A and B are shown apart, each in its own frame.
Chain A
């Protein structure tokens, strides 16, 4: 199976017989699971059919002309070439059709823009290349990153059912409640798009855009970043899990408890090995997209950490780089993104992995002092 795929990629230009294996011939927009997505779908279909009817009339006349007025059939050209009446008619008719389309579109748009009276506010922040969700009233938040393995992407492993559309931790929202999304970004412009919710809002650094949804049915709804945001633009999916209100409340309590436990970890006495083990997980999730799992990076944009001056030099510099980023480059400030424990772990890991073998470590307490 795998070798056949690779072979086909190589033989692509001369490949004549396609093999269709992933039969899913969806040709139309989803109706979605909100009232807004339903009206968007209806508008889409209305406009589509209007275009089809206009197309049939215009192309009908054209094909009739092609069929009936051929020189080879002895057609003699008529002499007419002007008619003000006709010109006025076919200016006015489209104009009237357009007004007919504009009225329902305006209504739907006004509803979309009414973000008042929300019952739950979630701040969505786009990062290169992951999403962060902050539940503003409940005071917790988390990152949501691609869960598909590199092996699947690079064809070393069978692709799963939700290839590229799965995350480690989905956004969880309650059904039948007005959820307001406050969308922004940390670095470049991203766009948060879930087709089933008919919500697409650009996430722009320095701006907070608003959108909202009332999901009617529990379920899992998948989307993707829709604005080119760099190398891994295609690898930052969105998964929304809509659950019953009760289930949602339980989930919130569990998340808050988890946050407390994370906080407690800070005061634990960590050994070098414990930090390195935890650091590897943190590294793979947050750093490997650019610096690569091998630590070799993708120079020059994403430098190597293996044997680098920073990862093997004074630990102060290393910590500062991770905490505050490097301005003017793609290196983000991870200080606000990760917990003290994770920061300590990842710095320690980077100093002791890939033959860097510095043997030194930094504790969560030391990170907390610098943060």
Chain B
């Protein structure tokens, strides 16, 4: 060993490489985490621009800006890009940055695979986005790509979509393996599982969900590929296949996928709320058990997305009861967050504002989710704007607000500088107003009977749609402010202390700000 060290006299220089190769060849969890976060922000802007095309067309009745076929491409690509390009990579980016620092490890357990799992993504999304310029246009069958619309009746670009999804799946699975390997193997001495920060716990459970369901997604798109190019009839009734089978397989992936996008958000809120309440998280063990219960239940509720396909009565009842059960552990989490705030000593910095809004608005999304679980009533809600309102309430102020909260909370640790608090608060309030303006009226038009995924609508829905469109533009433009705040924070600002926040607890706050290139070269002791 000593002979080897002797030959590498620059062995103690552990800084990053210079130039472009630093980013292409890096195996450093911070570099890769940053790339994931930047990538997801770019995708967030692209997917968001598509949402603005949709909202501009829906600003008033009649077809004004796009044709119906292109409108369908926009709804499809918006969904795919936001789910697979914005939310999921953002959480992987957070995991990359934070998990090693939180468990007291020097880096991720499998750094080369880490590099690869990131670098697949730009290629996957280039492939997907390139379909916009192909003959016949981009995928236009909705992000849920129900067969046979996505097979027999799909544009030729569906094949590119399928390969894109395969690549995203490979990337996600490798990312998940890495997270599990890091958490299970690289924890500092003394950090038992039940002492791990909740963000680490939620990501551990999320990673298992990813490994369980991404192969199912790969399976369903492969069956599509076979139907389209190799003459099989998995989903074609004319050939003895079954279009409903597609939905069962898709939602067996799709429902756990929903929790893949929200469990890490629970973790973020569980880190931030105690810090700014200056009080320990209430009911830590029950938080862990609730997260695990939600993950387990997520595998037996998939058909609640399919109440209208004509399931037998027994099936409807089973999936209705199972879905309602999810309200119990989710309720426990909300009660615990509120109890953490109760009798604390609260301050309201930007991360806390986003976290509080997360709890309130996610709970509203949870309420509409509970309503959707009631099968007989779901016949009136299903595939209307009520559903659009529901899942945007759990995804935008749910997943995306928690990502903003996380960014503000850990930015000082990442950059060494405090962000501009006044601008951060402005970003929060404009986003908060914009998103509620956009999504709250969707509950109303949905209940009044407006189906989703339509490029034009009857006159009675005009007023609320107009409000939604104005809110969407406010929300969209506000996100450029976030970009400005982050760039400003990277370039300079008040020097951040190691602790950063008065009430912050955890190993990452024992490192200096900015955190050193290799997090813990000596394992810290956890009492």
Contact = CB atoms under 8 A, between A and B. Distances in A.
B227 to A, nearest CB: 11
Contact of B328 (A21, A98, A155, A164): A98
A65 interface: yes
A102 B375 CA distance: 10
Interface stretch (B14-22, B259-267, B355-363): B355-363
A225 B238 CA distance: 23
Contacts of B339: 86
A205 B279 CA distance: 58
A98 B244 contact: no
Interface in A298-332: 298, 300-301, 328, 330
B463 interface: yes
Interface string B259-290: 00000000000000000011111111110000
B345 interface: yes
Contacts of A54: 367
Contacts of B359: 62
Chain A residues touching B, range = 35 or more
B293 to A, nearest CB: 10
B527 interface: no
A229 interface: yes
A228 interface: yes
A153 interface: yes
Contact of B244 (A29, A59, A108, A204): A204
A51 B367 contact: yes
A12 interface: yes
B480 to A, nearest CB: 13
A61 B149 contact: no
Contact of B371 (A21, A48, A65, A209): A48
A193 B381 CA distance: 11
Contacts of B332: 87, 90-91
Contacts of A232: 68
Interface stretch (A194-202, A243-251, A273-281, A349-357): A194-202
Contact of A61 (B241, B278, B327, B338): B338
Given A205-B243, A228-B453, A229-B149, A43 B335 contact: no
A9 B374 CA distance: 39
B512 interface: no
B310 interface: yes
A113 B282 contact: no
B279 A77 contact: yes
Given A87-B286, A98-B324, A191 B308 contact: yes
Contacts of B464: 25
B310 A204 contact: yes
A358 interface: no
A105 interface: yes
Nearest to B287: A87
B216 to A, nearest CB: 20
Contact of A66 (B61, B356, B380): B356
A201 B457 contact: no
B341 A12 contact: no
A59 to B, nearest CB: 6
Most buried by B among A59, A70, A105: A105
Given A71-B345, A189-B146, A80 B282 contact: yes
Contact of A227 (B61, B69, B146): B146
B136 A13 contact: no
A279 to B, nearest CB: 26
Contacts of A76: 345
Nearest to A88: B286
A65 B375 contact: no
B389 to A, nearest CB: 12
A71 B352 CA distance: 13
Given A188-B153, A233-B453, A65 B341 contact: yes
B316 A109 contact: yes
B390 interface: no
A8 B332 CA distance: 47
A189 B149 contact: yes
A231 B343 contact: no
A70 B384 CA distance: 41
B59 interface: yes
Chain B interface residue bracket vs A: 35 or more
B117 to A, nearest CB: 32
Contact of A62 (B279, B310, B317, B341): B341
B60 A227 contact: no
B310 A210 contact: yes
A71 B313 CA distance: 54
Contacts of A71: 278, 345-347
B458 to A, nearest CB: 5
B284 A198 contact: no
Interface stretch (B161-169, B401-409, B412-420, B444-452): B444-452
Interface stretch (B170-178, B180-188, B467-475): B467-475
Interface string A29-69: 11000000001100110011001001100110110111001
A188 B345 contact: no
Given A8-B60, A87-B286, A207-B310, A65 B379 contact: no
B397 to A, nearest CB: 14
A369 interface: no
B463 A24 contact: yes
A208 B255 CA distance: 26
Given A94-B327, A204-B244, A69 B238 contact: no
Contacts of A5: 60, 62
A112 B458 contact: no
A48 B379 CA distance: 16
A270 B69 CA distance: 38
B309 A26 contact: no
Contacts of B243: 189, 204-207
B492 interface: no
B325 interface: yes
Interface string B57-86: 001111111001100100000000000000
Nearest to B449: A195
A101 B374 contact: yes
Interface string A232-245: 11110000000000
Nearest to A97: B327
B361 to A, nearest CB: 11
Contacts of B282: 80-82
Contact of A153 (B142, B340, B456): B456
Contacts of B313: 109-110, 113
Nearest to A110: B313
A56 B69 CA distance: 44
A58 B335 contact: yes
Contacts of A330: 153
A6 interface: yes
Contacts of B241: 206
A62 B238 contact: no
Contacts of B155: 301
A235 B453 CA distance: 11
B344 interface: yes
Given A18-B470, A164-B456, A226-B382, A25 B346 contact: no
Interface of B: 56, 59-65, 68-69, 72, 135-136, 140-142, 146, 148-149, 152-153, 155-156, 237-238, 241-244, 277-286, 308-310, 313, 316-317, 320-321, 324-325, 327-328, 331-332, 334-335, 338-348, 356, 359-360, 363-364, 367, 370-371, 374-377, 379-380, 382-384, 443-444, 447-449, 451-460, 462-464, 466-467, 469-470, 473
Instruction: Pick the 4 closest A-B CB pairs, nearest first.
Output: A206-B237, A234-B454, A209-B310, A81-B280
11 contacts: A15-B470, A70-B347, A81-B279, A81-B281, A86-B283, A98-B328, A109-B313, A154-B63, A162-B458, A188-B146, A207-B244
Given A95-B328, A234-B455, 7 more contacts: A8-B60, A22-B462, A25-B463, A69-B342, A153-B62, A159-B62, A300-B136
